[in-house]
A and B are shown apart, each in its own frame.
Chain A
Amino acid sequence: MDQPIKRHSTLALLGALCLFLSTIEYLIPKPLPFIRIGIANIPIMLSIDLFPFSSFFLLVMIKVIGQAIITGSLFSYVFLFSLGGTLASALGMFTLRRFIGKQGISFIGIGIVGALLSNGVQIILAWLFIFGPSAQFIAPPLLLLGLVTGLLLGIFCQNFSEQSRWYERALQERLHDKP
């Protein structure tokens, strides 16, 4: 009997895209190890409307742990920054989108909120582990950077969700799977 052809799961596929975009981001030089533009968050933002919370959370963990394995930062504070920032922004974005709904908040809105939450948590962690009270000096530029990158990622995701054939198909599959 023929075995059914096994295809990649959407979750693993988006996880791989996170890792791929992390690698691209890793190649961009930055003055502080935890400063990121956040392009690896694009698959996470796109998955908010595609997955239930459990799968969404798994994707977030694939991104954080996979990224740490690729960059070799699993045993350092950098991992803590990545974990704290990603969890805060992912939970914030998911909650907002699910409670307010697609009509109430766009990808641009959740992108900005996610970036600010991520940077806010990272500033607190930087205060605790690296800079102490001097963290107040990095807070304004970091939050401003978060605002800009969140806006840009949000615009990208909004356009992607409107133009992508893959995204449209995945959304329909999700609607089809819903009881």
Chain B
Amino acid sequence: MINRDRRIDLSYRLFNSSDLFIAGLLCIPALVFSHNLYFRAVLFLYFYVFAWVQGKRNSLVMTLCISASIVFFNLLVPYGKVLFQLGGFKITQGALLSGLEKAITLEALIMLSKTSIRSDMQLPGTFGSLIAESFQIFEELLAQKKQFDWKKPIESIDLVLMSFSEKPITQHEWQNTIKNKKERTAGRFLLLLQTALVWTFWLAFAF
């Protein structure tokens, strides 16, 4: 099993954040507009694995809990054929399918998002530089989080705001780490292949 740090490193060497963003954007229509539950489930599994490959943290227990709660709430309003009964609680086909569809779509979109959005993504314009500056301070805050005393939150936040408002800006590289052109080409090819496959299966089997 490849450890998480190595997976993150590989992902940064292969993929550029803008390429990931565009590839993710291109896969959204296939996921949202397909009416085939199996296709959506396959996409969910694919993006779950891809998120793991990129070293993104995922909790299978949380994913299952969220899906179960969505299915449960959908079952509260029964419609369609009664499949079985648990005490007085009717499990109906329509409500169950609707719940499964919503849960799978939501989880698949979350996984797709995780694979497509990376914190080194650059946004254009003044807003882009402002958000980049916020991310720069945020990274410094994360590095200092052990100094935060959560028993005294007011004093801690006040101290942090005071120190950062007086601190001069340090130059920060907000660039992708890809140096090797071959690796970048390979990454682009993989993302192109992913998009082509998703679209082909969507248009051929699940449109």
Contact = CB atoms under 8 A, between A and B. Distances in A.
Nearest to B58: A72
Nearest to A23: B142
Interface residues of A, number: 54
Given A75-B24, A76-B106, A166-B165, A15 B131 contact: yes
A58 B126 CA distance: 10
A153 to B, nearest CB: 12
B153 interface: yes
B164 A13 contact: yes
B169 A62 contact: no
Contacts of A138: 73
Q: Is the interface of A mostly helix, strand, loop or mixed?
A: helix
B77 A132 contact: yes
B197 interface: no
Contact of B73 (A16, A42, A137, A156): A137
A159 B25 CA distance: 43
Interface residues of B, number: 56
Interface stretch (A28-36, A93-101, A104-112, A143-151): A28-36
25 contacts: A7-B167, A8-B133, A8-B165, A13-B165, A15-B133, A16-B136, A17-B141, A19-B134, A20-B141, A33-B110, A62-B127, A66-B134, A72-B56, A72-B116, A76-B109, A76-B113, A77-B109, A130-B73, A131-B73, A134-B74, A134-B76, A156-B154, A160-B154, A163-B155, A166-B158
Interface of B: 24-25, 28, 51, 56, 62, 65-66, 69-70, 73-77, 98, 102, 106, 109-110, 112-119, 121, 123, 127, 130-131, 133-138, 141-142, 145, 153-155, 157-158, 160-162, 164-169
